[in-house]
Structure 1
Amino acid sequence: MKFPSIFRVNQPRRFQITPRHYDPVKEEIANRTERIRKELEEQGVLTPEDGENKGHTSRYGSTIRGAFTQGSPIKKQPSSIFQSAGLLRLIIFFFLIGGFGGYLYIGPDVIYYGLYLAVGVALLVGLFKLKPKRKK
Structure 2
Amino acid sequence: MKFPSIFKTAKPMRFDIKPRYYDPVREEIEQRTERIRRELQADGKIASEDSERQRLQGDYGSGIRGAFAQGGSIGGRKSSAASQTGILRLVILIFLVGSFFGYVYLGPVILYVLGYGGVSIAGLLFLNRLRKGRIR
TM-score for both structures, normalised by structure 2: 0.53
Question: Cα deviation per residue 1:14-72 (whole Å; 9 max; x = unaligned)?
Answer: 8x784897654333322221123324444xx23561x54xxxx53xx99xx86xx7xxx
- SS state of the match for residue 102, structure 1? helix
Identify the residue that residue 44 of structure 2 maps to in structure 1: 46
- SS state of the match for residue 9, structure 1? coil
- How many Å separate the matches in 1 of 2:41 and 2:114? 77
Find out whether 1:128 has 2:94 as its counterpart: no
Q: Work out the percentage of aligned pairs sharing the same amino acid.
A: 39
Change (3 A) 1:39 1:94: same
Map residues 84-95 of structure 1 onto 2, 5 A cutoff.
Answer: 84-95=84-95
Identify the residue that residue 113 of structure 1 maps to in structure 2: 113
- How many Å separate the matches in 2 of 1:111 and 1:13? 64
Q: Structure 2: which 5+ residue stretches go unaligned?
A: 65-72
Instruction: Check the 8 A contact 2:40/2:46 in 1, yes or no.
Output: no
TM-score for both structures, normalised by structure 1: 0.53
- How many Å separate the matches in 1 of 2:37 and 2:27? 15
- How many Å separate the matches in 2 of 1:12 and 1:82? 62
Map residues 1-136 of structure 1 onto 2, 5 A cutoff.
Answer: 7=5, 8-11=8-11, 18=18, 23-42=23-42, 45-46=43-44, 49=47, 51-52=48-49, 58=53, 84-132=84-132, 134=135
The structure carrying a bigger helix percent of its residues is: 2
- SS state of the match for residue 36, structure 2? helix
| CA-CA distance at 1:114 after TM superposition | 0.7
> How many residues get paired?
119
